[in-house]
Amino acid sequence: MIEPAHLSGIWAVVPVKRLDRAKSRLASMLDPSEREELAWAMFRDVLDTLGSVRGLGGILVVTNDIRASGYARAFGAVTLPDPREAGTNRAVQCGLAWLSERSAAGAIVVPGDIPFAAPVEIAAVLEKLRPRSVVLAPAARDGGTNILAMAPPGAIPVAYGENSFARHLAAARETGIDAQVLHLDGAGHDIDVSSDLFFDAVEGQATRTRAHLKRMTRPNPAPATVLCKEILQP
């Protein structure tokens, strides 16, 4: 895909670590190939979700992973190398700078490890985002930020890491922006530690991720090694 010189609308930014280095905190439960394939499944589920959201100007994937970047381009996304591979903050900053240089109206940062995010949740963030505004969706578990949206791109400093939700709120206040907070069930759930593998997603969401977790279930597992329980429609 040819990189546009000028952009319109609000773009999604998807930072993706190299898949063979992903999900190291799950090493006690998953071997390296399982972690890589889980990250691969989650990334494709996230792209599917974003691709079904009306109103997005486009999708920008920031990654040095060859498989992820090839898939993203075939999907219709723009890809951008992660020049330093120095973590989420640097990758997101790179994506936001690229959008700012091309006059995009805004950005929604959607990590590649929130596969349970629903299109309606991303649409709700879009609906709340206005010029000179910030919308945040916190992580359900650890004080992190699972969705960070801002208009224009770079409206506030990026502050991923420990307690990033509180730090993004503070950054918005310091910039004179009243951030809006959305508590989203699906988007609020990422997969970082073993307990995250037990999330009951709405049927139809994250089909690749849920199928992968089910395939990894061993016969007659001990409770500590059960990776996924059957997900039933309420």
pLDDT tens for residues 64-100?
999 999 999 999 999 999 977 778 999 999 999 999 9
Is 152 contained in some domain? Answer: yes
pLDDT > 90 fraction of the chain, expressed in percent and rounded: 62
What is the Cβ-side half-sphere exposure of residue 58, based on CA atoms within 13 angstroms?
22
Please determine, for residue 11, whether its predicted confidence score (pLDDT) is greater than 60: yes
Is 219 contained in some domain? Answer: no
φ and ψ of 218, to 5 deg: -80, 155
Query: Residue 191 corresponds to which amino acid?
Result: I
Is 176 contained in some domain? Answer: yes
Please determine, for residue 218, whether its predicted confidence score (pLDDT) is greater than 80: no
Is 177 contained in some domain? Answer: yes
Residue 67 burial by CB count (10 A; 0-12/13-18/19+): exposed, middle or buried? Answer: middle
Please determine, for residue 170, whether its predicted confidence score (pLDDT) is greater than 70: yes
Specify whether the CB–CB gap between 55 and 123 falls below 8 A: yes
Is 229 contained in some domain? Answer: no
Is 5 contained in some domain? Answer: no
Cα 180 to Cα 76, 148, 186, 203: the distances in Å are 30, 10, 18, 28
The reported pLDDT for the residue numbered 200 is 57
The reported pLDDT for the residue numbered 199 is 55
Kindly state the average pLDDT of the residues 34-61.
Answer: 94
Domain that holds residue 173: 10-195
Cα 32 to Cα 39, 155, 194: the distances in Å are 11, 37, 15
Is 210 contained in some domain? Answer: no
CATH number for position 44: 3.90.550.10
pLDDT band, residue 176 (cuts 50/70/90): very high
Structural domain count of the chain = 1
